[in-house]
Chains A and B, each alone.
Chain A
Amino acid sequence: MAPALAPKEVSEPFPISCVAGRHLLFDVDVISHVRRNHNICGVLVGTIPNLSQQNVFLGIPLELMSEEARVLVEGGHAYIVDDVETHRQGFQEMSRADRLKYLAEMDRQGTEAAKESLAAQEKKKDIALKKKGWRKEVVETETAPSVADSTATVESTADSTASDATVHVELPSPAGSGLGFIMKGSGFVEPQSSANTASVPSIPSESSGTVASDLGSSFVDLGSIMKGSSFLDPSSVSAKSEAVAAPVSDAAPSSPHTSDLGSSFSDLGSIMKGSSFLELAPVEVKVEKVEVEEAMPLLVKEEEAGPEEVKLAEAQLEEAMQEEFKAVTADDPEEVDLREAVPPMGGIEAEPAEDPQEVDPSTASTSLFESEPAPSAPPVKSTLKSVFAQRQYITPTTSTPPLPTPPQDSSRPLPVVPKSYPLFRFLHSRGYFFMPGLRFGCNYSVYPGDPLRYHSHFLATGLGWDEKFDLLDIVGGGRLGTGTKKAYMVGGEDPKAPKEDNVRAFSVEWASM
């Protein structure tokens, strides 16, 4: 996923989850926030998904020491929330409308995730093939272009045809994506239009560009159907009736922040859920209707300008594709080969979640009408199936999107802290960072800056002001501290001194004489 995103701003005070007396943070932005602004590190105790076989890097949740929670609460930066009660009320008593809304949102995210992972896969494949294919193309320029190209085609038919296309059209051309769609799209294309493709070799490259835009757009059309159909869970839909549709479609306008795509999407979803009684074909019609509603202003314009639009795409394609695509299509046997490879590939390499933004939206909507009667039941069925194979499920990290941010409870007592707290508070106010000191046999290991960057300086132990302790502790702590390039530190709070200046700390170093 996108690495190194800047954390979002966090508004204070933020909630700290209290579970069975422990203080946890689940929101990654809050975790970054406390680290940057309040020099609080806590300890990451969770497992990182997909990296669950190691103990070196750990993930969310972040467990705060009770001292850290106390410092944050006392400073007014945070408040403690009883997560158990919040969740008992929030989820076990969740209303039907809320639940359905939440499920729809999860579905949306799941489809997006699928989209993302497919795009990443595609990219990776592209790079790998580029590496392989690049050398071929270098060779090819030295020898006869057509022959070399055809060999490349033969080789890469073993791989996906989609990336095959991109190998050849890797120049910075707008037609690149269009050509990619031919290949991807043609997997779903019904017999009639594949017959069209068959005619490609005989037609000069100009008209092949037309076919390309045609197919590409019909693919988009299919893509939109699929997007919608990922909602269509044959088992669960039957359980829901039209009554279900109402809350969901209510929910869609109530979330204005969702993008156009998203809202059209939830519209689709609502219809899908509502229309459980529909057969496959009618469902498809419905989908298109929604698309029409959505893109209506565009559509009217585009419909009129339909042929021109196609021409425009044609012209775009023409320029960049002429060389490459001609080379691909020039060789008849190779082309047949390619076509034969398409249908089975289509099933595996189905690209339903391909980013629609990539395609000119106008072409997409034009084709809605052009290809409306075209898809017959059987191919749609297969594409539906392939979409089900792609859609992902999400386990969110936090509960706050479905649940509201819990309210502040001022009657809640402050976190209980050990007697070493005064020393902690003192050093924290001086800008030090802390980690639990268990590994070094002390209360805290104290860092001069973020532990990500700095080694710790002190092994601190907090004591009572008049508390007696063993001299051996000094020796042991001093030796261990010195051996690890740190200093042992003891400190405590003078109960009689004024509040600002009541903590004293001593650092001990082993003289090793």
Chain B
Amino acid sequence: MADADEDVSHLGAQEGAENDPTEEAQDFRFLDKLIGGHDVAHLSLPKRGEKDFESHSTNLQLDTLEASRRAMHGVLSWQRTHTQKNHILAQYHPETNTVCVDKVKSQHFQTIGRSRGGKEWLLPEEALFMIERGSLDCRWPVKKKEGDEQSYKTEDGAPMSLQAAYAAFIGYEEGVGGKLTLEMYNVYAGLKRSGYVVFRTGTWNEDRGDLLINYSNSQVEGRLGSNIFTRFFSEIWRRISQPSYTIAPANLSFGPLIKPGLYQSYSDVFRLMQIIPTHDRKTPPSFTLPPAAENPFRVHFDVYRTTSGFRKTARGTPDFRICVINARETPIPTGAQLNDLFAQVPEDRPKAGTQHYQKLKHGCRNVLLAVVDNGVPSYIRVADAPFDEVKIYERTWTGPRGKGGRGRGGGRGRGRGRGR
């Protein structure tokens, strides 16, 4: 995301590093100036102001700093108010750490909440975000005394302050067996503020995510969809073109890898030299570690780009999958942890015909790591790069090959003869 700007590639262009809006603290004066009242609908955000390198103890500098601090103070003291028209009332349920909404009346509920027993329920992160952005009036449940038969309405409960909301939705979470941490919430809220649609991956009830073995790969579907003759011929072609035998390990220590014979292309020669075993991506993935609650590497959020026809009941495949980790507590994942993390995401191969480098970069499975250091998130994309499938000797120089759209592996059939 924003990290692109902080890349080392900016070493030469120092301007880039300085103009990155997310780099450092913002000057709230500019925000305040633009907003004035509360009508912020048509405003775009300001550029950061000029900053100084060090103090020179001038009054001008001190005054500017004071103005910035005051502006910041002013913005931070904004109150969360609900007009009668936009008032969404909800009640907190301490037993499950969720929130039950009285009457759903806003666009937000197209992308949050789930209906259960005729009522709309919000997960802790959803409720907290709604409260924080000033769109939800959440109430504590009324404490009943012994023998108090009166039935209380939601609005009789005490309003939940922002502080109380953090204490409840983040603080109570562990007590009810939930898994939401402040880091996860930071990431959730950050993505929501950026306009993404964010949902939990699965239910979070188990100690780790679900194993995903189904291939939601468009390429696979595309191949199955072609007609039977094409499939028949391409199958024959595949059988002819692929080596029918592999070199037995015992032979490797003695004979030459490439026996004398007639070779019509280098590809055949290279293929015979492929002796280093690689990770087999054809077999369905499996977990290597036992399920453990303390393993931080699991997919936490499904992230969707905002589209017009989005329905929360039929969400489709997410655009990104995010795993949230705490920069201060979590070391770099081990191989086993990475394997288990990748087992939770479906195969996502690059499009056929893309450049080799792109294919490697895209990987066949990928996941976004959101590394949070004390509230500052940084997003890192981790991909499983299929080096054994991207073969340099099959490189094509003139764009995609015209072999009936067979996609990947299209270069294999060049040489008919095989070495013996």
A interface residues (Cβ-Cβ under 8 A, vs B): 1-7, 17, 19-20, 22, 24, 26, 28, 31-32, 35-36, 41, 43-57, 59-61, 63, 65, 83-84, 86-88, 91-96, 99, 102-103, 106, 110, 113-114, 117, 120, 124, 233, 235-236, 239, 388-400, 402, 418, 435-440, 445, 448-457, 479-480, 483-485
Contacts and interface: CB of A to CB of B under 8 A. Distances in A.
Interface of B: 2-3, 6, 8, 10-12, 14, 17-18, 21-28, 31-32, 35-38, 40, 45, 51-55, 61, 64-65, 67-85, 87, 94, 129, 131-138, 140-143, 145, 150-153, 155-164, 166-168, 170-175, 181-182, 186, 189-190, 193-195, 327-328, 371, 373-376, 378
Contacts of A49: 78-80, 132-134
A391 B54 contact: no
Contacts of A57: 26, 28, 31, 45, 75
B68 A110 contact: no
Given A24-B166, A87-B168, A120 B38 contact: yes
A435 B171 contact: no
A1 B64 CA distance: 22
Contacts of B182: 19-20, 22, 45, 63
B170 A445 contact: no
Contact of B74 (A5, A60, A95): A5
A1 B78 contact: yes
B299 to A, nearest CB: 21
Contacts of B17: 483-485
Contacts of B155: 233, 235-236
B8 A452 contact: no
Given A51-B35, A52-B132, A452-B27, 11 more contacts: A1-B38, A47-B132, A55-B22, A56-B45, A57-B31, A102-B158, A396-B80, A450-B65, A452-B25, A452-B28, A485-B18
A436 B84 contact: no
Contact of B158 (A31, A51, A397, A402): A402
B412 to A, nearest CB: 41
A389 B77 contact: no
A93 B157 CA distance: 12
- Looking at B54, B81, B173, the one whose CB has the most chain A CB atoms below 10 A away is B81
Contacts of B94: 92
Nearest to B65: A453
Contact of B167 (A17, A110, A236, A479): A17
Give the 3 A-B residue pairs with the shortest CB-CB distance, closest first: A49-B134, A438-B373, A84-B171
Nearest to B31: A57
Nearest to B33: A3
Nearest to B145: A96
A86 B164 CA distance: 9
B87 A393 contact: yes
A448 B54 contact: yes
B261 to A, nearest CB: 48
Contact of A83 (B35, B167, B193): B167
Contact of A454 (B37, B52, B174, B371): B52
16 contacts: A3-B74, A4-B71, A24-B166, A32-B73, A43-B376, A44-B76, A48-B78, A49-B78, A56-B45, A57-B26, A63-B182, A392-B82, A395-B138, A439-B6, A453-B61, A483-B14
A289 to B, nearest CB: 27
Contacts of A398: 161-163
B22 A56 contact: yes
A265 B159 CA distance: 20
Nearest to A98: B158
A114 B85 CA distance: 12
B54 A454 contact: yes
Given A395-B131, A438-B373, A19 B45 contact: no
Given A19-B171, A480-B8, A438 B378 contact: yes
B171 A4 contact: no
Contacts of A448: 54-55
Contact of A7 (B37, B73, B376): B73
A273 B65 CA distance: 49
A451 B24 contact: yes
Nearest to A486: B17
A84 B327 CA distance: 24
A49 B158 CA distance: 20
Contacts of B21: 56
Given A55-B194, A395-B134, A450 B163 contact: no
A435 B164 contact: no
B74 A483 contact: no
Contacts of B71: 3-4
A226 to B, nearest CB: 14
B24 A392 contact: no
A123 to B, nearest CB: 9
B35 to A, nearest CB: 8
B14 to A, nearest CB: 6
Nearest to B11: A483
B193 A54 contact: yes
Given A3-B32, A4-B71, A61-B163, A393 B81 contact: yes
Given A57-B31, A395-B161, A20 B171 contact: yes
B10 to A, nearest CB: 7
B45 to A, nearest CB: 5
Nearest to B77: A28
A100 to B, nearest CB: 9
Contacts of A83: 163, 166-167, 171
A153 B131 CA distance: 44
- Looking at A48, A106, A398, A418, the one whose CB has the most chain B CB atoms below 10 A away is A48
A50 B64 contact: no
Given A3-B74, A63-B182, A63-B375, A52 B134 contact: yes
A52 B73 contact: no
A348 to B, nearest CB: 13
B80 to A, nearest CB: 4
Contacts of A92: 94, 140-141, 143
Contacts of A390: 84
- Looking at B133, B141, B327, the one whose CB has the most chain A CB atoms below 10 A away is B133
Given A83-B166, A453-B68, A91 B77 contact: no
A63 B374 contact: yes
Contacts of A54: 45, 193
Contact of A440 (B6, B76, B162): B6
Contacts of A124: 37
A336 B240 CA distance: 96
Nearest to B190: A55
A45 B186 contact: yes
A94 B164 CA distance: 13
B143 A94 contact: yes
Contacts of A399: 161, 163-164, 167
Nearest to A99: B158
Given A4-B32, A20-B182, A50 B54 contact: no
Contacts of A454: 51-55
Contact of A397 (B72, B163, B194): B163
Contact of A436 (B77, B161, B375): B375
Contacts of B160: 91, 395
A35 B6 CA distance: 26
Given A5-B74, A439-B378, A47 B163 contact: no
Given A26-B162, A45-B375, A438-B327, A59 B51 contact: no
Given A436-B376, A438-B376, A91 B8 contact: no
Contacts of A28: 73, 76-77
A48 B320 CA distance: 26
A425 B347 CA distance: 47
A117 B153 contact: no
B81 A394 contact: yes
Nearest to A31: B76
A16 B86 CA distance: 33
A87 B328 CA distance: 27
Contacts of A457: 54
Contacts of B10: 483-484
B168 to A, nearest CB: 6
